[in-house]
Chain A
Amino acid sequence: MLPLLPFFIFTGFFLIWPVIAVTIRSFKGNKNEWTVANYRPILHTGPYLHAFVVSLKLSIITAIIGSLLGAFFAYVIVTYARGKFGAVIDSISAVFANSGGVPLAFMFVAAFGTEGIVTKVLKDLGWDIYAGHFTIFSFTGVVLVYSFFQVPLMVLVFKPAIAGLRYEWEEASINLGASPFTYWRRVGIPILVPSFVGAFFLLFAGGFSAYATARALTVGTVPLVPIIIGTLVDGNVISDQANLGDALAVGMIVIATIAMTGYIWAGRRAARWRNS
């Protein structure tokens, strides 16, 4: 126990204590009295409820796009790209998935902005992406940018699951007379479903919590919960409730916790087929 003390003290103080502190303060009013008033605007005031809806929509859509495309990439990489090339793809996915943040936003402005390179090329080819409502600073724009890190994240998370499919299983089913299609329908896909669902929850949680990219890209034009918390913290928005930001932060923790519970639960189901 004693050698673990530094770790417990560290995580207790820098991880658990901040969460407890923000939760406590979210139930305190302007005069430090206990109240649930901070939570009321979330349910009753249009903009805050709307922000949760937009954030949920964004994270669900990008998690769907990311998990489907990512699963496809993961399959192709595991099946056909091994060795050094596979290792390079791994590290590129790691960079794309993790170090997105601020640089990602500016890269997409350069590519898909009004004056962007891709925008111009597509226009020359006869497709003006700005003809409709699209801008890179809009909801659709954020979906596009988020997919850029959701897809490689899916590749990283889902690859081990596909690599865990044993060749013997495929061989056995084919020896029993199954076509490749039947193998996938009856064996492959059922085994992969828990891992897929787990990865989906992880992507959802990641998209829901992401702040840097949206902040640098939209400067607040798309109302997302993290962005609104950010503006409250910066004091750009005056609210009569001093601790409204805390309530929003706790709301995010609750949603992320639900998603991660799904992730952990699915992970347990997926583990059944491993190490046996």
Chain B
Amino acid sequence: MKRLNLKWPLTIVASLLAIFIFVIPLYGATVYSFKGNGGKGHSWVNYQWLIHADGFYPSLFTSLKLAVLAAAFNLILMVPTMVYLNLKGQRFKPLVDFLCILPLIIPVVSLAIGAQVAMPKFLQNTQYELVFFFVIIALPFTYRALDTSLQTVALKTLVEASRSLGASWTRTITRVIVPAIRSGITGALFLTFALSIGEYTITSLLHWETFPTWTVVAAQQNILGAIAISVFSFVGAIALLSAIALFSKRGLQRVEVEE
């Protein structure tokens, strides 16, 4: 039986569909963002507006700061947890697994309302409360990223070798395990950072101002400017992720959500 070769027909159909669904809106928005004053001609005027707009730098700085903190906190919490889980805590794995999938189940809107009810006043009064919720929202992804990469290394052997050579636990984690699971850590780090920097729901419901919430407010003054911001952040994210995918040996497949 001769196998049908559908390579080109299918590739062409998929490419055309992808162009209609993804490329055209993105292209349309890009062209739009370069419109001049009053919608005429082409210019950088919207991007210039952006840089000079009130609140652009402060909100961008806040977002960057919170995202860096969330990524760092995430690793400090999750790397030891996942190492222990894969080493000795096997019996707790179903429970941790369940807790880490919960953020996908509980709608972020509901979590935000819950946070307003449950968080103590001193936390509600600081924007740093967002850091913890960003970590929660990123949990399903970081769990998966770290877990897959821990399962590919001979964890037990590495730890036994390191410990019997006299290294402390801290030293074993920082000098042996972390380098071994670097790809998982990079994935977790980047995903937490990306999710945090674009997070809108919980931020706006808890009434904080970060880059995304500022964008929505700014859009009411200047929709062209808001479109310019959107194009800028989308293209930036794609470029960054593609660069990581191309230059890291193992790519990003590991950080996908699979069942």
Contact = CB atoms under 8 A, between A and B. Distances in A.
| Tier of interface size on chain B | 35 or more
B110 A19 contact: yes
B104 interface: yes
B195 interface: yes
Contact of A15 (B33, B111, B117, B201): B111
A92 B96 contact: no
A107 B10 contact: no
B81 to A, nearest CB: 4
Contact of A111 (B28, B205, B258): B28
B89 A1 contact: yes
Given A18-B117, A95-B237, A270-B259, A148 B22 contact: yes
Contacts of A92: 238, 241-242
Contacts of B27: 117
Interface stretch (B47-55, B154-162, B249-257): B249-257
A253 B104 CA distance: 11
A106 B220 CA distance: 11
Interface in B100-123: 101-119
A209 B136 contact: no
A249 B109 contact: yes
A37 interface: no
| Tier of interface size on chain A | 35 or more
B114 A103 contact: no
Among A91, A250, A270: residue with most chain B CB under 10 A:
A91
Main SS at interface, chain B: helix
Nearest to B117: A21
Contact of A260 (B104, B114, B117): B104
A96 B119 CA distance: 32
A225 B107 CA distance: 11
Given A88-B246, A157-B256, A180 B118 contact: no
B142 to A, nearest CB: 12
B204 interface: yes
Contact of A216 (B85, B110, B219, B251): B219
Nearest to A77: B14
Given A107-B25, A107-B28, A109-B227, 7 more contacts: A18-B111, A90-B252, A95-B234, A102-B212, A104-B230, A104-B234, A253-B106
25 contacts: A15-B106, A21-B117, A22-B118, A76-B10, A80-B10, A80-B11, A90-B252, A90-B253, A94-B256, A98-B194, A103-B215, A104-B234, A118-B25, A174-B3, A177-B1, A180-B1, A202-B104, A205-B104, A209-B108, A209-B109, A225-B109, A229-B113, A230-B205, A249-B113, A253-B110
Interface of B: 1, 3-4, 7, 10-11, 13-14, 17-18, 21-22, 24-29, 31-33, 39, 77-78, 80-81, 84-85, 89, 92, 96, 99, 101-119, 132-133, 135-136, 139, 191, 194-195, 198-201, 204-205, 212, 215-216, 219, 223, 226-227, 229-231, 233-234, 237-238, 241-242, 244-246, 251-253, 255-259
